[in-house]
Amino acid sequence: MTEDNNNKRFISWFWRILFYILSLLLLALGIILNTKAGLGVSPIVSVAYSTSNIMEWDFANTTLGLYIIFVIIEFILRGRKSKWYDILQIPLSMVFTRFIHLFDKYINFEFAAMWQRITVLIIAIILTGIGAAGSVNVKLVPNPGDGIVAAIAEKIHKSMGFTKNIFDLLCISTSFIIGLVTDHFLIGIGIGTILAVIGVGRVVALFNYFFRWFCEVHNA
């Protein structure tokens, strides 16, 4: 009986980790396709995107630096309530940003027509939403973008949804200020940024609905 339980536990962890890795791949692909659409990037990476373009740095490495800052802020906000395994977000970020680097390197298509850009943007939003929801639902190591929102939500005693909207607005405002100060107006900020704010949340909600339904059916 114990051996059967161990086998079931192993299989459960195997599928969780596989689903987690797949979710991170989809999330990274969604982020890169969002940048390739040329209509404005996702708010969470807008600071890294604008900074990397202005300073001519590698986008993936700049994102890694930003994520490490997010993790440090998390520990500051939580103080003694910080959990040791939150530090695992840093090695996760190293792996995740390598996914971003690979997709950025090999997806080098140019989309000139507006219908192409809109199509790519829609695909990007769907992939980003599925990837974000999937990586959170398996309850392993959170992506630093989600981790910092959770830490802020705990600190100000507000819901994750409300805090996410405020954090997105903060990222967009920071990117806008960076562009304004450096005379690089609105780099990475556009209609695609606004649609990502609205669309990703809707995709996450829809995915979570079907995810819960799937779990209920298979646990029945």
Higher pLDDT, 151 or 62: 62
Mean pLDDT of all residues in 201-218 = 70
Check pLDDT > 60 for residue 216.
no
Higher pLDDT, 126 or 215: 126
Residue 25 pLDDT? 92
d(CA 128, CA 137): 14
Per residue in 22-59, pLDDT (tens digit) is 989 999 999 999 988 888 888 888 999 999 988 889 99
CB atoms within 10 A of CB 72: 13
d(CA 140, CA 219): 21
Closest by alpha carbon to 20, among 137, 135, 141, 130?
135
Question: What are 118's two structure tokens?
Answer: 């809109």
Residue 111 pLDDT? 77
Residue type, 57: W
Predicted TM-score of the model (pTM) = 0.85
DSSP 101-169: HHHHHH------SHHHHHHHHHHHHHHHHHHHHHHHHTTSSPPHHHHHHHHHHHHHT--HHHHHHHHHH
Is the Cβ–Cβ distance between 133 and 204 less than 8 Å?
A: yes
Distance linking the first and last C-alpha atoms of the chain: 22
